[in-house]
Structure 1
Amino acid sequence: MADTNPDELERRIARTRAELAQTVDAIADRVSPKRVAERTVADVKSRATGFVASVGDALGLAPRSVERADDPDRLWEEEPPSLAPVLIGVGAALVVGAAIVLWRRRRRS
């Protein structure tokens, strides 16, 4: 055993303890409820931003930042887009969903 020098062994033990402490701290940080909640909120915000952007693209809206001092009556530089196609699509989806539910209930009876 060439490395039986007590001072060297103590240094290795101290280094291993420090590395282990860092690993345990990193794991504790990763699974802490606060950090999990922060990551979840960031993920939801990211997905919501993507969803809003895709809806805006579908409606033909160009995104622009809204400043706190903006006049609410002038947020739309031109006529606001028509929501009729979106409402018709939502209504159609609700009708189809209700028809499927009713059809399944009748089949079970």
Structure 2
Amino acid sequence: MLSVLAWVMLLVVSGYSVLYSTSFVMGTANCSGDNVCDADLLGPAMGTVSIGVLLALIAAVSGSVYCIRRRRYSFYWPIISTVVVIACLYIGAAIATAAGPQ
């Protein structure tokens, strides 16, 4: 039961993170005139979130499959991956904040 809840949590957090990262572009909406922005950082910010989510999902699936084949507990893989996804979201948001008005 714990594994199912952990997987649901991982999928919800992953989907929310990728969806939220698409709104990073709105942080540079008022970049005109005297407000200088570094819009080149938006791609790496969104890429950090997307690649982080992808790698976390791959790690969770492969780790869970390995543990299930060895008949061991596997509930901790999606929990660890959820922490990685949240960390990637915060790192991506920090990069996107650096792209905003200076």
Query: TM-score, length-normalised on structure 2?
Result: 0.32
Query: TM-score, length-normalised on structure 1?
Result: 0.30
* Larger gyration radius, structure 1 or structure 2: 1
Question: Per chain length, whose mean CA-contact separation is higher, i.e. which structure has more relative contact order (CA < 8 Å, sep 6+)?
Answer: 2
